[in-house]
A and B are shown apart, each in its own frame.
Chain A
Amino acid sequence: MIVRVLAALLALAVLGFADTSHAQPKTLTLRVGDQVGSELDYGPFWIAVEKGYLKEEGITYTRKTYANGPSTLLDFNKGELDMVMAGLGPFIQAAAQGADFVMITSITKGNAPLIARPEIKSPRDLNGKKVGSPGLGTIQDTMLSLYEKEHGIKVEHVPTKITDLIAMLEKSDVVAFTGWETVAATTVLKIKGAHYLAPLPVVPNAESLEVIVSRKLAQSDPNAVLGLTRALLKGMRYYEKFEEDALRIIAKAMNVPDALEIAKLAKGQIKITDPYIDQKSSQIIFQTLLDTRKILPDKLASFDDFTRRFVDYSFLRKAEESLKGWEPKR
């Protein structure tokens, strides 16, 4: 009797240690870098997290936030991050300095509103004044340069941390600033008289934010990168179909008071449903970076050169193919 019991226990133990790897998908933990206050801008990612799209692909994540895109890329270049969501400008600048990465999808268009104090009523009022930006290397600073060119004005760029811009605007250290949502919407709601002088960039459908992964990850685990792209695409489709619910999910990720009200105000300044890079605006952005001497042409000759070396749509096309007929469910 004892022998039978022991045999049964032994059999159970053997079954317990049996290889079950085929039953559970391999989980990849992505080290993700993005910026403070940018949950709406990267809405598809947060929707993918909340709706379980990332989990379905066997992906979990750890998140590190930075002051702006260039700061994020400094850590990425050291190998501290696998995936970065940041502006096109910083990515071009990094590439021009020899950084390497694979750009898998665009995630945001627009997203460079100009917020001004109540006494600033037109672009002309900005001429000769101090205008804040979240950093010299950000896409928003580049958009500010384009705004100056468009309106024939010259302002003094005051680069500083995005979180300090609100206080500086209130104290009139700057008369206006360009930044990303939802910081801009927060400012409009918090500071009396602050308003959107220019809700959208001067370039139509202006490219803003993209998603990159390390080339090492793209080469060693392309299935994971494909899974990530599928999850992001699902997030975009969810936002497109169920905007209200998507904003609620994003507000939860923001985790600040009045998040939903802020998100609803901010959504008018961004577009987060188009995964393809807008070529026309990107060419303009590239040229502006050259004109303002933010990049030098020796390592990166043109935007076409950048696209050829760093943009890889193969993951996006495979993701679209695999998601044909897929409809998001609430």
Chain B
Amino acid sequence: MKIEAEVLRIPAEPAAPAAPRGRRVRVVLHNVVAALAVIAAWQAATLVVRSVFFPSPWQVMRAMVDLALHGDVLGNSLLTHIDESLMRLGSGFALGVALGVPFGLLMGLNKPLYVGTRAAIEPFRFIPPIAWIPLTIVLLSGFSRYVFLIWLGAFFPIFVATLVGVPRVELIHKNVAKVHGASRWYILTRVVIPSVMPDILGGMRVGLGTAWMTIVAAEMTGGETTGLGRMMVNYAELIRIPEIVVGMILIGALGFVMNEVLLRVEKRLFRWRWEVTL
């Protein structure tokens, strides 16, 4: 029986009010001040530590400019390293989402299936992705090695977030749909998935962090010549610490930007959600 969409449409709650422009400017200013405070503390630390191997902000900035203008010792540009890391990360992460969400939904909706396979699946969750590196070196090559490792890092947070989100779907929403004759597919796509989306996005943000940790560790073990992790190890072997810190800053910045993108997506999709404040 075809369901009238209007019957099942939940009246939209008023969207959470957007922050006034003045407050947004203040937030940006506060963040700039916080960043400057971190840099000042770092500079102060170099005066205390006084080691040739603890670079100052100025040395790191010079190294960044040099890398940006001239590339690394192997002639690879900074953009090449960033590009390679992002491509590997993006591919592995996308695969993690593509498999983590359906698997999480399948297991969440089919409890006997999850209970019956838990002993086989769950142990893999506790094996850190970097523990797989020696095996991937002998079994996989090049791009596929990184995609596999990052997929491992991203898959489980997304899978688990989806899995635990499914039972939390409001029963009344499912029952109302059933009472009106909604098909299983309708309930899945119009009730369950939208309800679980906040959990999925939360899982994606956690998975993104794990993916970054994995890609850097994987690139550090070698086999390729490009990537931010590889660049950092190359300079570690040359005992050029400012360049290593450049790599760290870039990883932090890229991870921050990607996280902000996910946050914006989350805010846009769930603008009906009000934040709880005390």
Interface residues of A (CB under 8 A from B): 68, 70-71, 73-74, 77, 90, 93-94, 97-99, 135-138, 156-161, 164, 167-168, 171, 173, 292-295
Please determine whether B221 and A136 come into contact, CB atoms closer than 8 angstroms.
no
Complex Cα distance A166/B237, Å?
21
Q: Is the interface of B mostly helix, strand, loop or mixed?
A: loop
Which A residue sits closest to B141, measured CB to CB? A173
Contact A97 to B237, CB < 8 A, known contacts A136-B73, A158-B222: no
Please determine whether B52 and A97 come into contact, CB atoms closer than 8 angstroms.
yes
With beta carbons under 8 angstroms apart, the residue of B52, B142, B222, B237 that contacts A138 is B237
Q: What are 24 A-B contacts defined by CB distance under 8 Å?
A: A68-B237, A70-B236, A70-B237, A73-B239, A74-B239, A77-B53, A94-B239, A97-B239, A97-B241, A135-B237, A136-B233, A136-B234, A136-B238, A137-B239, A158-B222, A159-B222, A159-B230, A160-B221, A160-B222, A164-B137, A164-B223, A168-B223, A173-B141, A173-B223
Inter-chain CB contacts under 8 Å: number: 75
Report the interface size class on chain B: 20 to 34
With beta carbons under 8 angstroms apart, the residue of B52, B224, B239 that contacts A158 is B224
| Residues of the A chain whose Cβ atoms lie less than 8 Å from the Cβ of B276 | none
Please determine whether B73 and A93 come into contact, CB atoms closer than 8 angstroms.
no
Complex Cα distance A72/B234, Å?
14
| Residues of the A chain whose Cβ atoms lie less than 8 Å from the Cβ of B142 | 173
With beta carbons under 8 angstroms apart, the residue of B137, B224, B237, B241 that contacts A136 is B237
Please determine whether B221 and A158 come into contact, CB atoms closer than 8 angstroms.
no
Complex Cα distance A158/B225, Å?
6
Which A residue sits closest to B224, measured CB to CB? A158
Which A residue sits closest to B222, measured CB to CB? A160
Complex Cα distance A129/B136, Å?
22
Please determine whether B221 and A161 come into contact, CB atoms closer than 8 angstroms.
yes
Complex Cα distance A90/B138, Å?
28
Please determine whether A164 and B239 come into contact, CB atoms closer than 8 angstroms.
no
Given contacts A135-B237, A158-B224, A294-B73, 9 further A-B contacts (CB under 8 A): A68-B237, A70-B239, A73-B239, A93-B238, A94-B239, A97-B240, A158-B222, A167-B138, A173-B142
Please determine whether B222 and A137 come into contact, CB atoms closer than 8 angstroms.
no
Closest-CB distance, B169 to chain A (whole angstroms): 47
